[in-house]
Amino acid sequence: MAHLLRMPEVAAGGTRAVLATWSVAENAAYTERDTLAEIETDKATVDLDADADGVVLRLLVAAGAEVGVGDPIALLGGPDEREGDVAALLAGFGVPTNPASGPGPQTRAEPDAAGSVGGSPAAEGTSPEEGPARLFASPLARTLARAAGLDLTRLAPDSGPGGRIRRVDVQAALADRDGASESRAPSGPGDGAPPGGRPVSDGRTEPVPPGAGFVDLPHSRSRRAIATRLTESARTVPHFYLEGTARVDALLALRRELNEDAPRRISINDLIVKAAARAHRLVPELNVIWTPQAVRRFDHVDIGVAVAAERGLVTPTLRGVDTLSIGAVAEQTADLIRRADAGRLRPEELTGGALCVTNLGMFGTERFSAIINPPQSAILAVGAAREEPIVVDGRLAVGTVLKVTVSVDHRAVDGREAAGWLRTFLAILEKPVRILT
């Protein structure tokens, strides 16, 4: 039966996403779990997979278009529905058709800041009588160009379908512009810039110390999303912080023993994630999130893992960590990191969980605190394991210690429960055989 494929909510609370590319064509058959399209979110590029066999009757959105969550992007049919009155089917779903646009998806030009969809007649190569030519560009290309102060009318719109300017066109133009700017970098007061400053896009002068040089790197979609999300968290979520230290000599010894026969190398972070899941089982008051109606407590333990991927910071979620073996935690974490670098995380892998683990210990950081990633209620910041003087039975000794800081949402969790969780977590690290039970 014919049905509409709609833009999914690929990130919690997201209202729009970019349909980066189509992996199928009109009238093409596909099978269950085939990738239909790639969707570019604020965090990553994710695959939109088919949930059943079928055929593509009509693509309703062009590649590169920004689409609202829930909006129709394609008309799909069953495996035997290649023929039929597509226009009538769309009308039945209340989706307007544009006969003048021809077959295939079309992109509507967006107005620029002046309310026009094109540049001036001179810039577009048209006469005043003909009116300005329409400038076709993807929403993402327009966003990048606007942030960088780039005039889209100066780009050759020939790379995309139908002469559309795409993200890659803008990025190439920025690279060319930045390279040219560096080659003629000002060296003195006669360079055309006011003394002690440099012109900015709106005509004002931005003060610059004498002799200073810098390069403005336009914000990526991912960087903007991170900034927005964490600023909102810092402003609206009442954080409180608890710090603790555990002696981890036994944990390191367990890791060495496990790695003697493990098919995949187990990291300290894998053991920490598993220990956190165990602590959540023993102190379920932390396995919660805040919602406007209630505090939601989960039956299973899902934990986010902060990944500094090549495309930006993402926090994919490991499901059911309390039921996984330590080997499975290591295997699934490695898979998430690999696909995060490639931008191939699935939408459902970017949501869920009550806790996130972020680890800067591999960079030598001893202690830090982190901002909660809503709607999660806590984030565990893990530092480096270091040898330090410790007191054992009243005597000075040397031991390997690990410092952690847990940031907690005070709306969902009180200090007593959080302190009990941290005490339990540290005890598990010091007697790590409990991780494996």
Q: The dihedral of CA 258, 259, 264, 269: what is its sign?
A: positive
Domain annotation covers residue 223: no
Name the nearest CA neighbour of 42 among 1, 71, 14: 14
Angle at 123 between CA 122 and CA 126, to 5 degrees: 50
C-alpha–C-alpha distance, residues 253 and 275, integer Å = 15
- Whether residues 327 and 386 share a domain: the answer is yes
Q: The dihedral of CA 181, 182, 184, 188: what is its sign?
A: positive
Domain region containing 309:
239-436
Task: Say what the pLDDT of residue 16 is.
Answer: 81
Domain annotation covers residue 170: yes
pTM summary value: 0.61
C-alpha–C-alpha distance, residues 340 and 346, integer Å = 9
β strands within 218-349, DSSP E: 239-247, 288-290, 295-297, 303-305, 307-309, 312-314, 317-318
- Whether residues 138 and 96 share a domain: the answer is no
Is 58 in contact with 75 (CB distance < 8 Å)?
Answer: yes
Domain annotation covers residue 96: yes
C-alpha–C-alpha distance, residues 311 and 340, integer Å = 8
Domain annotation covers residue 108: no
- Whether residues 252 and 376 share a domain: the answer is yes
- Whether residues 266 and 384 share a domain: the answer is yes
Task: Say what the pLDDT of residue 132 is.
Answer: 42
Task: Say what the pLDDT of residue 120 is.
Answer: 34
Task: Say what the pLDDT of residue 229 is.
Answer: 82
C-alpha–C-alpha distance, residues 143 and 1, integer Å = 38
- Whether residues 352 and 412 share a domain: the answer is yes
Task: Say what the pLDDT of residue 402 is.
Answer: 97
* Helical H segments across 318-400, by residue range: 326-341
* Domain at 55, CATH number: 2.40.50.100
Number of domains in the chain: 3
Active centre residues (catalytic)? 410
Task: Say what the pLDDT of residue 44 is.
Answer: 66
- Whether residues 290 and 399 share a domain: the answer is yes
Task: Say what the pLDDT of residue 303 is.
Answer: 97
Low-confidence spans in the chain with pLDDT less than 50 = 99-134, 158-161, 181-205
Domain annotation covers residue 117: no
- Whether residues 94 and 145 share a domain: the answer is no
* Domain at 173, CATH number: 4.10.320.10
- Whether residues 89 and 145 share a domain: the answer is no
Taking each continuous run of H as one helix and of E as one strand, the counts in the chain are: 9, 20
Whose structure tokens read 């009442």? Answer: 238
* Domain at 294, CATH number: 3.30.559.10
Task: Say what the pLDDT of residue 184 is.
Answer: 42
Burial class of residue 244 in the structure, from the number of CB atoms within 10 Å of its CB (0-12 exposed, 13-18 middle, 19+ buried): middle
Task: Say what the pLDDT of residue 186 is.
Answer: 42
- Whether residues 29 and 93 share a domain: the answer is yes
- Whether residues 151 and 266 share a domain: the answer is no
The values of phi and psi at residue 221, to 5°, are -60, -40
Domain annotation covers residue 188: no
pLDDT digits (tens, 9 = 90+) for 75-108: 998 887 766 678 888 888 888 765 433 334 433 3
Domain annotation covers residue 192: no
Domain annotation covers residue 286: yes
Per-residue tokens: 291:
């919602």
Is 63 in contact with 20 (CB distance < 8 Å)?
Answer: yes
Is 156 in contact with 176 (CB distance < 8 Å)?
Answer: no
- Whether residues 249 and 321 share a domain: the answer is yes
- Whether residues 278 and 425 share a domain: the answer is yes
